[in-house]
Structure 1
Amino acid sequence: MIQLKNIRKAYQTGYNRLEVLKGIDLHLKEGAFASIMGSSGSGKSTLLNILGILDEYDEGEYRLDGKLIQGLSQTEAAQYRNRFIGFVFQSFNLLPFKTAAENVALPLYYQKVDRNERHKRAVEYLDMVGLADWSDHLPTQLSGGQQQRVAIARALITQPKVILADEPTGALDSKTSYEVMEIFKKVNNDGMTVLIVTHENDIAAMTRQVIRLRDGLIESNGSPVAATPNTPGHD
């Protein structure tokens, strides 16, 4: 599903060149449930942006479902994102003036799905995350956990092959975080590939594979060990 070979990425800031990814090799099979961990500056957010076709890489090869992702136009990149990838962010990224159902339905608008069909499917996906009764509420009327559930429903409604989640539990308390992770577990059990960036050891321990980055390289890649106490971390 996801194949990375010697991926390198650097940023130029003034006279300085910062090499963020220094040769990433990674293979995630369809149906993988993995987490990416690493300290600030390790490159995990850059890696997620490349996987999400939000940023280009400088060297190497990235194949998504067998397709080489390289040199795409903005239109082509958007098409592949819409077809293959669903995004979930720490800050939810919901439109405050639209209801939960309207936020969930938004990706279908860009796919030119009929308005009534959009609403029907949005309510179905809100029901999947336990929020059917909240479909007419605005984000400001929802708790943080409820807003994240709306964001997950929005990511799922296009039936992507891959979910990329960037610190999806970072703004939530422990109980709500575990409830959100149970949703990810469920969609993964249904066959969807899920990749989560996190700095929380207990969240990573709930996935089946933990990829640890250090200084732009993969330090380790394997099964999670038992959850250990959280340590502060940012990216």
Structure 2
Amino acid sequence: MVDVDIDPKVEPAPSVGAPPPRVFARAVQAPPGWPWEQTRGASLEARHGAPLPIDETQLQLKRLTPWRPSQGAKFAACYIRAAELHTRFETVVDVEGQPVSVIFEPPEALVRRARQSLFIGLAAAALTALLFVSIAGALLARAEGEAQLAALEHDAAAKLQRAEAAQALRRQSAALAAAQPGDRVAAPLSDLAWAMAAHGPDARIQTWRWERGVSRVEARGDASPFTDSRRGVVREAPAGRGTWLWRIEPEGATR
């Protein structure tokens, strides 16, 4: 009979984990240009000189030298085989004596990040469009409000002018009615009172004069400066550049 001793303290050998992915790194030169032009040129050069088909690798491009006008730049091109990458992998590689920190992520994480970036971009675009529409609506409403306010102010000013003219006419009519029948100033005052009350809000009358029983005014423009049709107004002759002489028919004259 053979006795076999089993030592309970003996443990099984630990399993050896999978080796980390291998990173291949090299320096890439970019010609002088703007920073984005140098990055694009270095990316094209790195893809062209990839150690494996580019669809089988992941590429990380890192700038090694700062951008300076009229000078070239150096980049670190770091490659890893996509089939060896299963989780996020971060490491430091040496490129021409300079340590470079790189991070690689599996394709699923890259797709997920791209979707998130697309969603964030779409949300930002929608928010920007909504903000633009809101601002445009507010500006349009403000412009419409200002236009309505200007129209109301214009109407109020015209009404005030007509009211003041009517009040002045009433005062002058009362003064004329109190004057003696033989007063020589009654007729000119009557014409002047009518002219003050009947001129349009946009009329630009420069002078008024009474001569031989007829009153005349000089006004700019070729349209009649008066809006009251109870008296005839005749354009006689030009009085200057852009100015015409208008004759006011006496009150009660046949037109």
TM-score bracket for the superposition, by shorter chain length: under 0.3
Q: TM-score, normalised by structure 1?
A: 0.19
Larger fraction in helix: 2
Q: TM-score, normalised by structure 2?
A: 0.18
- Whose Rg is larger? 2
Relative CO higher for 1 or 2, CA cutoff 8 Å, sep ≥ 6?
1
